[in-house]
Amino acid sequence: MADPFHNMPQGGCLPSLGQQPLKRPDGKWNCGDLDMFIARDGTWFYKGSPIGRKELVCLFASVLKREADGSYWLETPVERGLVRVEDAPFIAVELFWKADNGKQTLSFRTNLDQMVTADAEHPISVHICPISREPRPYVTVRPGLEAKISRSVFYEMVALADSEELDGKSVLGVWSEGVFFPIDDLPGDAA
């Protein structure tokens, strides 16, 4: 597959001559929508075609940021462009577990081979659908950016879960680096 960025003009997204460039107050060129999309399964697309070179995807991922409004942007020191994300930009595809002196540590490998250890700065969050009760688990990779925890990895994580009392409720969750991450409420005792 041809590299979709091979013929990109110097300066990346800069408009052709005769058009007024969009320069932001911070000095960066605003490229607008880059026609880049990250699918639910973690595949990155450019102009409708999957980006097949993992090294290129890793490069883009290293400059991916998320704004307070939830939008995702590729941002270099001189340019920024909008990226559409279907769910989360990364997928947690492998779980590493260790216990040392009674302290459990859960680390995840993403589809882009980033390693992240669940802790206070990299929390695990599980959103439960109120209708189907289906869990949607995530781990924070870096501020504003999450990896969706794949189903098989989630099942491995649940196998390590403990029950704890939180706000007067019995909760199932996991410990990592001394922090408890709730997964779901446990059903009440049947009377």
Give the model confidence (pLDDT) of 24-78 as tens digits: 666 666 777 889 999 999 999 999 999 999 999 999 999 999 999 999 999 888 8
Confidence of residue 21 (pLDDT cuts 50, 70, 90): very low
Q: How many CB atoms lie within 10 A of CB 128?
A: 14
Q: State how far the Cα of 112 lies from the Cα of 42, in Å rounded to an integer.
A: 9
Question: DSSP characters for 147-170?
Answer: EEEPHHHHHHHHHT-EEEEETTEE
Q: Does any domain span residue 10?
A: no
Q: What is the pTM of this model?
A: 0.81
Structural domain ending residue among the three candidates 46, 70, 85: 85
Do 69 and 155 lie in one domain? The reply is no
Q: What is the dihedral of CA 92, 97, 101, 102, to 10 degrees?
A: 80
Q: What would you measure as the largest C-alpha separation in the chain, in angstroms? A: 77
Q: Does any domain span residue 151?
A: yes
